[in-house]
Structure 1
Amino acid sequence: MAKTKITRISFIYFIALGLSLAACKNGFNNSTNKKSAEKIVPENLKWSERMVLSEMHRFPEASKLDFAPVPRWGYTNGLVLGAVAKVYEKTKNQKYYDYIYAYADAMIDKAGEIKTYNFEDHNLDMIKSGDVLLYLYPKTKEERFFKAMTTLNKQLETQPKTSDGGYWHKKIYPFQMWLDGLYMAEPFHARYAKEYEKDAAKTKKVYDDVVLQFDLIQKHSRDQKTGLLFHGWDASKEQRWANKETGNSQHFWSRGMGWYGMALVDVLDYLPKNHPGRAKLIKYLNQYAEAVVKVQDASGVWWQVLDQGNRQGNYLEATGSAMFVYTLAKGVHKGYLPAKYLKNANEGYDGLLKNLVSVEENGVVNLNKCCAVAGLGGNPYRDGSYEYYIGEKIRSNDPKGTGPFILASLELNK
C-alpha cells in the first residue's frame, strides 16, 4: 500500500513537472515571437522616414556613414544628413536632429578645426558637409561651427581654376572639372554668400562665379546630339581618359548626371531672383530634363551607363535613378520645369520601389544595385571606359543613393 502511494505521488510530480516545463517553453516561445515581430522601422511611416531610420540603424554614428571604419569628414555625410534635416523639419522628431548634431559635434573640435580635413588638398568633395554646419549654426550659435564653415568657404576662394575659371575637382586632378563637383560645392557657396557675406560686391561676385561653373560645364561637357553631359572634362587634354580634341571623358555616367541635376535645383534655392544667371540655370535644367527622360528605361529607372541600355554588363542603377527622380520632382514643384515631368518622376520612383528597394522582416529598408564609386584617373588608373563603369563594385545602401532616395521621397510625399 505504501509503495503504491509513493508511486502515485511520483507520477503526479512528473506530470506537474512536465506541464511546468511546457509552460516555460511556451512562454519563452511567445516572448521570442513577440520580439521577432517588433519592427525596428515601422512600416506605417512614409518612405523618407523609413529610410532615415534604416540609415540610423545601419550607421548609429553619422560620422561613419558610407561604411567608414573610423569617423571622417566626407561628402556622403553631408548628403545624407541634409536629407535627414528635411525629415526633421517635417516631423520634429528630436532623435533625427540629435543624429545630425552628433556628426558636427564629433568632427568639429573646440577651436573650430575640422577633423580629418586638409585645406591644402583643395578637394571639392570636402565642401558638401559644410551644409550641415549651415543648418546647425543658426540653431546653436556655436562659434566652432561658424569657424569651420568659414574655412570651407575660404577653400573655395582659393580653389585652383582652369584658364576660363572652372574649379579643379581636386588639387590632385589638375585642370579637370567633373559633374560631381558642382553639387559638392555650389549649393554651399551660394548659401554661404547669401547668409553670411556682408559685402554686396563680394556676394555678387560669388553668385557670378557659381553661375560660371554651370556655364563652363554646359560649354565643355554637354553633348550636342543627346543633350547628356560627359562625366569629366580635362582642359589640358592630357589625361588618358580625355578625348584629344574635346577633353571630355567617353561616357554618360548615371550618377555624374544625377549630381549635376541636383546641383541645378539646389543652387536655385539661393541664387537671387534678380540675378541674370538664374534664367540660364533654369534653361540648362530644362535641357537636362529633356535629355534625361529620353534615356529613362521602361521600368522607370535609369541605366548605369545612361545611353547604352541593356548592353551586356550594363545594369539599372539606384543612386543615379534616385537623383533623377528628386531633380525632376523638385524642378516641377518649384516651377522650373513643365508639369509633364512629374509623370517621369513618379514612374522613376515607382520603378525604384519595384526593382531596387527591398524591406527586411524587421522593417529595415534596403536600396539595392548602387554603384559604390566611380571616378577618372588616379591610382590605380580609371580610364572612363564602358568596361570601367560597369566593372566598379555594386552594393546595397550606398549613402549616395539613400540620401537622394530620402529627398525624392519627400518631394513626392511618398
Structure 2
Amino acid sequence: MSPEPLHLGRLSRRTVLAGTAGALGALAVGGPAASAAPVDWSRAVVDSTMKRFTPATLGGWGYTRGLYLYGQYLVYRRTGEKSYLDYILGWYDRFVTDSGISNGFTNLDAMRSGQMFPLLYNETGLAKYKTAAGQLRQKFPSYPRTSDGGMFHATSKAGQLWADGVYMSQPFLALYGKTFGDSGYCYEEAAKNIVVYFDRLKEPAKGLLYHAYDEDGSEPWATGTGRHSQYHWARAIGWLGMATIDLLEILPAGHPRRRRLVDIVRFLAAGYTRWQDKASGRWFQIVDRGGDGGNWLETSASAMYTFLLSRAAQRGYIGSEYRPVAAKGYSGVLSQVSVDSGGLANIENISEGTNVGDTAYYYARKRNTNDFHGLGAFLIMNEQLAC
C-alpha cells in the first residue's frame, strides 16, 4: 500500500510543523495555514534549484550532484514534468558522449552519479547511456577489495571501508544487473558488499555503525581490536541504510542474501528510534552524543533515517510501531525547510562533506543551507512520505 499523501499548507520561514495523523503520520498543521493551498515541497526544491543553477553551472562530476539529480528524477517520475528530465539530461550530457564516459572511477564516490545511466537509458533509449553504464560495470571485478571482499573507499585508501561507500556504488551495480540482464554477478556482489561493510562497522550495543574501518589498523583513527573509527557519524549510517533499502527494491524474493539485508534494516531502524531526538524528531551529527555542547541536529541524515523508517514500514520489513517515528522525523526535517523573500525554497543545517575525525572535527563541520547532500536526501525522503 502506498503511503497516504501529506497535504501541507504554505509555510512562512521557520514555521515548525507539529503533530501526526494517519497511517504514516500525515502532518496536522493547525490554524490558518491548514486551509492554505497545499505545497509540493519536492517541486519547490527542484524548481528553486533549477532557478539557481543551469545544467552547465550545477557543478562537475561528483556524488553530491548525482544524489541530487536522482532525487529530481524521482520527482520527474511522479509528476511527468518534462523540464525536470531535460535538466537532468543537460547535466549528464556534459560528461556522456556516444563513446560513453571518460572516467577512471578510482574511488566509490565517483561511481554514485552512474546510477542514473541505466535509468536514463530506459528513459531515452540512447545507446550512449548503456555504453557508459557498461564502462562503469567493467570497473568492478578489478577494483581492489579487503580480504573479505569489501571494496576500498578509494584505490588510494587501501583496506579502508567507509559506510558512505556502499551507497556510492552498490545501488548502481544492482540496477545495472536488473536492467541489462547481468543479475548473477551484480546482485551477489552488491549485497555482499553491504553485508561486509555492516559486519565491520556495526556496534550492536548501540544499534549504530562506526564511520569507517581500516583492515590493517594503520590509520590513526583505527584503534582497538575492531580497527574501526571511534564515533557514530550520522550521515555515514544514513548512506548505508539507504543503500540497503535500494537493494531490497531490486533483489528477487528468493535471493540468498535478502534476509540478511532485511535484518540490517531492522537493526538500523531500532537504532534510529533509540537515538532520535525526542524534542525535534531529528538526529545529531554524532548520533549517540546529543548531550555534547558542540553537537548539532543535522538535516541530511535525518532525511535519510526518515526515508528508511517509512519505506521499511511500508514494505513490512519492520512493524507499524515505527510509523510514528518516521512521522516525527518527517516533521523535524520539514522544520528546516522554508521559502525566502524571493520565493525560493531553502533547506538548512546540512553538514558539508566530511572525512573521518574526532568529535571536535564532526561538530565543527559547516552547517550549510541548500548543500546538495541535503537537497538530494530531502527529495528521496519527500517522494516517499509526501507523495
TM-score by length of 2: 0.87
Structure 1 match to 2:40:
46
Structure 1 match to 2:231:
251
The counterpart of 2:286, out of the listed 296, 300, 305, is: 305
Query: Residue 235 of structure 1: CA displacement?
Result: 0.7
Asked if 1:118 is matched to 2:78, the reply is no
Quote the sequence identity (%): 34
Hey, which of these two has a bigger chunk of helix by percent?
Answer: 1
Asked if 1:76 is matched to 2:49, the reply is no
Structure 1 match to 2:363:
390
Please identify, of 367-376 and 356-365, the stretch whose mean Cα deviation from structure 2 is larger. 356-365
Matching residue's letter, 1:172: S
The counterpart of 1:161, out of the listed 141, 145, 162, is: 145
Residues matched between the structures, number = 351
Structure 1 match to 2:322:
341
Matching residue's letter, 2:363: I
Work out the CA distance in 2 between the residues paired with 1:113 and 1:224: 41
Work out the CA distance in 1 between the residues paired with 2:273 and 2:45: 26
Structure 1 match to 2:372:
399
Q: Is the 8 A contact 1:229 1:257 kept in 2?
A: yes
Matches within 5 A, 1:233-382: 233-298=213-278, 299-354=280-335, 356-376=336-356
Q: Is the 8 A contact 1:83 1:403 kept in 2?
A: yes
Matching residue's letter, 1:110: D
* Local SS of the residue matching 1:233: strand
Structure 2 match to 1:381:
none
Work out the CA distance in 1 between the residues paired with 2:255 and 2:66: 27
Asked if 1:103 is matched to 2:95, the reply is no
- CA displacement, residues 71-112 of structure 1 (integer Å, 9 cap, x when unaligned): x21111221111111111111111111111111211112321
- CA displacement, residues 21-79 of structure 1 (integer Å, 9 cap, x when unaligned): xxxxxxxxxxxxxxxxxxxxx97441111111122122222x644xx4xxx21111221
TM-score by length of 1: 0.82
- CA displacement, residues 151-201 of structure 1 (integer Å, 9 cap, x when unaligned): 111122221000111100101111011111111111111111122135xxx
Structure 2 match to 1:171:
155
* Local SS of the residue matching 2:178: helix
The counterpart of 1:187, out of the listed 167, 171, 176, is: 171
Asked if 1:138 is matched to 2:152, the reply is no
Structure 1 match to 2:54:
60
Asked if 1:224 is matched to 2:197, the reply is no
Query: Residue 310 of structure 1: CA displacement?
Result: 3.1
Q: Cα RMSD over matched residues?
A: 1.6
* Local SS of the residue matching 1:362: coil
Work out the CA distance in 2 between the residues paired with 1:318 and 1:161: 32
Select the structure of larger CA radius of gyration: 1
Q: Is the 8 A contact 1:160 1:171 kept in 2?
A: yes
Instruction: State the structure with bigger RCO (CA 8 A, min sep 6), 1 or 2.
Output: 2
Please identify, of 125-134 and 282-291, the stretch whose mean Cα deviation from structure 2 is larger. 125-134
* Local SS of the residue matching 1:187: helix
Work out the CA distance in 1 between the residues paired with 2:123 and 2:198: 37
Structure 2 match to 1:20:
none
Q: Is the 8 A contact 1:254 1:320 kept in 2?
A: yes
Work out the CA distance in 2 between the residues paired with 1:310 and 1:402: 27
Matching residue's letter, 1:273: A
Work out the CA distance in 1 between the residues paired with 2:307 and 2:169: 19
* Local SS of the residue matching 1:358: strand
Matching residue's letter, 2:104: N
Work out the CA distance in 2 between the residues paired with 1:112 and 1:170: 22
Residues 322/306 of structure 1: CA separation in 2 closer, same or farther (3 Å cut): same
Work out the CA distance in 2 between the residues paired with 1:396 and 1:153: 34
Q: Is the 8 A contact 1:100 1:132 kept in 2?
A: no
Q: Which runs of 5+ in 1 are unaligned?
A: 1-41, 377-383
Work out the CA distance in 1 between the residues paired with 2:49 and 2:66: 14
* Local SS of the residue matching 2:147: coil
Query: Residue 139 of structure 1: CA displacement?
Result: 2.4
* Local SS of the residue matching 2:318: coil
Q: Which runs of 5+ in 2 are unaligned?
A: 1-35
Q: Is the 8 A contact 1:254 1:303 kept in 2?
A: yes
